[in-house]
């Protein structure tokens, strides 16, 4: 039987506990990406102006490269605004919740489900920022290679933050 979304959220773990699920390599990269995030004043103001309770149910695994890249962006938002809280659950065993967000028929991680204070869905961020999705769909092989390389280095966290703000702000 499918667990209620509120119960699933409440069963989730915090970011700090999630980080203990690794012995070092992923923690180091997540920390490095988090520490390099610099936000312009307008983005910072937009994050800090959110005054309604937002809960983010995160489906993630510590070994996933896209989680390593995008979780620091969400963590930065949560650290800048205490009205925004995240809880992390494993994709494994929770795939049924990801049915509406599948890409090419597969549940992808990270999937961030944005919920209001009553646990009603506001929107979702799935796997990678929209800018990377656009570059990949345009089909220019060189642009795709360059964008993926920069993305893997964590150079598109600002785009992830902007995509998240389009949902919650």
We report the CATH number of the domain holding residue 145 as 3.40.30.10
**DSSP category for residue 149:** H
How many CB atoms sit inside 10 A of residue 36's CB?
12
Q: Is 33 helix (H, G, I), strand (E, B) or coil?
A: helix
Give this prediction's pTM: 0.95
Q: HEC states along 35-81?
A: HHCCCCHHHHHHHHCCCCCEEEEEECCCCCHHHHHHHHHHHHHHHHC
pLDDT (0 to 100) of residue 24: 79
Q: Is the pLDDT of residue 1 over 60?
A: no
Residue among 142, 113, 138, 135 nearest 126 (CA): 113
Helix (H) or strand (E) holding 139: none
Residue among 47, 54, 43 nearest 81 (CA): 47
Domain count, the chain: 1
Block residue for tokens 């994709």? 91
Q: HEC states along 70-110?
A: HHHHHHHHHHHCCCEEEEEECCCCCHHHHHHHCECCECCCC
pLDDT digits (tens, 9 = 90+) for 89-123: 999 999 999 999 999 999 999 999 999 999 999 99
Least confident window among 12-16, 24-28, 47-51, 165-169: 24-28
Residue 125 structural domain: 5-168
């Amino acid at each position: 039987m499918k667990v209620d979304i509120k119960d699933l959220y409440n069963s989730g773990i915090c970011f700090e506990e999630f980080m203990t699920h690794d012995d070092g390599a992923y923690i180091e990269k997540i920390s490095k990406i988090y520490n390099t995030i610099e936000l312009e004043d307008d983005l910072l103001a937009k994050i800090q102006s959110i005054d309604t309770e937002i809960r983010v149910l995160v489906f993630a695994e510590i070994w996933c490269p896209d989680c390593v890249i995008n979780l620091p962006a969400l963590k930065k938002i949560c650290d800048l605004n205490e009205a925004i809280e995240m809880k992390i659950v494993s994709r494994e065993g929770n795939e049924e919740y990801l049915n509406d967000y599948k890409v090419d028929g597969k549940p992808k991680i990270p999937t961030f489900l944005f919920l209001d204070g009553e646990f009603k869905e506001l929107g979702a961020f799935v796997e990678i920022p929209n800018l990377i999705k656009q570059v990949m769909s345009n089909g220019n092989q060189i642009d795709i290679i360059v964008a993926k390389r920069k993305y893997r280095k964590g150079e598109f966290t600002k785009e992830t933050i902007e995509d998240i703000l389009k949902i919650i702000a």
